[in-house]
Amino acid sequence: MTQTDLQYLFDPRHVAIVGASHTEGKIGYIILNNIIESGYRGRIYPVNPKGGEILGHRVYADIGDVEGEVDLALVVVPASIAVQAVEACARKGVKFAVVITSGFSEIGNIDAEREMVETARKHGMRILGPNVFGLYSAAASINATFGPGNIRPGNIAVISQSGALGIAMIGKTAEENMGLSTIVSIGNKADITEAELLQHLFTDDITDVIFLYIEGLENGREFMDLVKQKPRDMQVVAIKAGKSEVGARAVASHTGSLAGSDKIFDAAFKQAGVLRAETIQEGFNWVTTLAACPEPQGKNVVIITNGGGIGVLAADACEKYGIDLTSDMEMLKKTFQPVVSRFGSYRNPVDLTGQAGGDDYREALERALNEDSIHAVIALYCQAGMTSLQPLKQTIMEIQEQYGDKKPIIYSLFGGEETEAVLDDLTRSGIPAFADVQDAVSALNALYRAYEQRQLQEQEEVDIDEEAIRALLRQVADEGRTQLLGTEAKAVMQAAGLDVPPFRVVRDIEGAIAAAEEIGYPVVMKVVSEDIVHKTDMGGVLLDLDDKNEVMEGYEAIIRNCRKQAPHANIRGVEITKMVDRGVETIIGATTDPSFDKVLMFGLGGIYVEVLKDVAFRVAPVSRREIGKMMREISSFPLLLGVRGESRKDVNAVIDAIYRVGILVDRFPQISELDVNPLVVYEKGTKVLDARINIEVEK
Ligand code: ACO
């Protein structure tokens, strides 16, 4: 990726509005008004051939007439004249043009868009858009959008692939009083991409959390590599649209961008440390929590509540997310017994009971926050009728002030109008407070996940016989084939270090007997032919052959069956291989994703993959630790751990096999598809029974 400097896009010293309008309500008027209202300190140059004055600012008939330098030009003239307007900006020496105008590649007008970018590049000008809503940047205190005007500065950056949704988000962030460092839409990304924007945000001084709305990524691999470089204390939350089949189609026709398979996006986000929210509201909840809370210094969480019911709901939600509710009774008793009444409980959830007021909460919270072995607090309040809420609100505000930057405290307040009003005030003060207990626990979970140590993509040395693999693949390509024979695919797997039972390809009965004797009975025999796909149906496979006679008869039968059923097939011989014991059948797959390139799949064989689609993905290559997580994601994983009296299978051997396949497809990009099916897993070790590899010949 090229290093870019977007400083003057986000912190322009002087701006022009090309197409600034005299007419109130037009986009060119609203933008100028927003810029003025947002307290922008640089010079503002409205440009419009009609000249005159708009909102007290002199209007320039042509951008070329502006005397001083212009870092940023907002282009708001119709598409028919936008290319000329951009060219005029570029000639003037403008550094960045934000082209708001619609009507380019999104409706098939690709040539004009290309011309616009080429012209800009010739003069060293960069373009954001076209088809964007503008940009807000706290660095320059500039609201150059045509959205709502009341944006509060803060530490959250929003990047949206959808302009309309982005504008709605401005409204929503204003309503929730969320502080923004920037909000931009990237529109048709004719020039500046989200990757460049992210790169800039990773290094600016104000952004702590990035909220991304993504519809598709042309180069998911580049995105992942970039996100992995983010500073550790900067968090990225993403909403990826296009989850359902219908959604995916809508995205494809909406922006023309490639919507990769959703499971692959999920996997890639996990690997890169991006938190993926399901809904926009969930994303907002997480983002505000991440922006407000410090990193938890340990796993022990305490729930403080005034109602048993919501306490249990919160505890259930914690269990669902794997959040550790501390059960150190000695510590809990010492810490909370003095503050709980006789009807309450110091056990976790700590129940202060219904009559608890602001002072009780203060004491309980202070005790929790001063106890070193408690690392985060979930404070719940259920409206209890008798008590006024004002003291509680006061307590929360003060506690936040004193402890808010030391430990994460997440609040949930449930009740009627008065509770809602308090909740509103807390939210508007940037305190993570939610009406629903689930939302509070989900936000705390996001905080924990955000700081989970992401392992580096360590690439250990593994003994892969690259020479042998290269030679095999070259030979297949030279023959003009795109699919390897099963025996060739197994040879590749063997060279990659997977355990493949011994096999030979023979061309006559004597050879078959010799091979079987060498390998040792029982053996399996299989026809070798690229023209016969369904080998079993053709009578081309025989299992469990125990002696010389069976092998002789078997060889003849296979040749006879195949010649009869597929007279034109090129029969290269018969494969003799060891018949192996039964074990748990698994599948390792690799495929090429248009956005993320090589991805790996793992699942258990038979119905688990084919019917239940119980599979997990990762982008290759994958570290062993990440493979462990990937395997645990499938619901059939316990079958490998041994159920109903079965012994535990060799999970580490499977991890090793997946690891090697990951390295194989990464080092040999010409492998477009690969299946190890099945990989049989035993108490000790694994065995590759069959494999399929497809290659792209031109690579
Ligand atoms: N240089 C500068 N100004 C010019 C020029 C020129 N060469 N030629 C004309 N103008 C002036 C016009 O006179 C007019 O000013 P006026 O109102 O004082 O007369 C002003 O520029 C605007 O031109 P209009 O022809 O009135 O254009 P209009 O404002 O109707 O539309 C716009 C322009 C907004 C760019 C429109 O073409 C457009 O693309 N709209 C969609 C914008 C959009 O939605 N973008 C995506 C955002 S994200 C989302 O999806 C919400």
Strand partners, 377: 302, 409
Residue 19 Cα to ligand 1 midpoint, Å, equals 6
Q: Which of 26, 50, 77, 113 to mutate to test the pocket of ligand 1 (most atoms within 8 A of CB)?
A: 77
Distance CA 463, CA 633 (A): 28
CA 75–ligand 1 middle distance (angstroms) = 8
User: What average pLDDT does this structure show over 412-426?
Assistant: 92
Question: For residues 301 and 376, is the Cβ–Cβ distance under 8 A?
Answer: yes
Distance 4 CA to ligand 1 centre (A): 29
Give 4's pLDDT tier (boundaries 50, 70, 90). Answer: low
User: Is 584-695 the same fold as 466-578?
Assistant: no
pLDDT at 640 over 70: yes
Q: What is the reported pTM?
A: 0.85
Q: What is the pLDDT of residue 263?
A: 80
Q: Are 62 and 85 in contact (CB under 8 A)?
A: no
Asked whether the predicted pLDDT for residue 648 surpasses 80, the reply is yes
Sequence-separated (6 or more) residues with CB below 8 Å from residue 140: 10, 11, 12, 40, 41, 42
Per-chain mean pLDDT for the chain: 91
User: pLDDT per residue over 344-402, tens digit each?
Assistant: 899 999 999 888 888 999 999 999 999 999 999 999 999 877 667 899 999 999 999 99
> Residue 55: what pLDDT?
97
Ligand 1 cavity residues, CB under 6 Å? 18-19, 21-23, 26-28, 47-50, 76-79, 81, 85, 100-103, 131-133, 163-164, 167, 185
Atom of ligand 1 nearest to the CA of 81: 7
Contacts of 180 (CB under 8 A, 6+ apart): 136, 138, 151, 152, 153, 154, 156, 157, 158, 173
Ligand 1 centroid to residue 28 C-alpha, Å: 6
**Cα–ligand 1 centroid distance for 81 (angstroms):** 10
Cα–ligand 1 centroid distance for 101 (angstroms): 7
CA of 404 to the centre of ligand 1 (A): 46
pLDDT at 458: 54
List the structure tokens of 688. Answer: 């590759």
Ligand 1 atom nearest the C-alpha of 102 is 39
Nearest CA owner, ligand 1 atom 48:
163
pLDDT digits (tens, 9 = 90+) for 114-146: 999 999 999 999 999 999 999 999 999 999 999
Name the more confident of 683 and 533.
Answer: 683
Model pLDDT, residue 386? 61
Pairing of strands 142-145, 209-214: unpaired
User: Which of 96-105, 203-212, 224-233 has the least mean pLDDT?
Assistant: 224-233
Question: Is 296-450 assigned to CATH 3.40.50.720?
Answer: no
pLDDT at 251: 45
Give domain 466-578's CATH number out of 1.10.274.10, 3.40.50.2300, 3.30.1490.20, 1.10.30.50. Answer: 3.30.1490.20
Q: Say what the pLDDT of residue 220 is.
A: 86
**Hey, which bits of 569-685 come out as E strands?**
573-578, 584-593, 597-604, 615-619, 671-681
pLDDT confidence band for 341 (50 / 70 / 90)? confident
Question: Is residue 164 scored above 80 in pLDDT?
Answer: yes
pLDDT band at residue 505 using 50, 70 and 90 as cut-offs: very high
Domain coordinates in residue numbering, the chain: 296-450, 466-578, 584-695
Calculate ∠ Cα 1-624-238, nearest 5°. 50
Q: What is the CATH number of domain 584-695?
A: 3.30.470.20
Tens digit of each residue's pLDDT (9 = 90 or more) over 15-35: 999 999 999 999 999 999 999
- Answer with the residue of higher pLDDT: 661 or 243: 661
Cite the DSSP H helix spans in 452-498: 466-478, 486-495
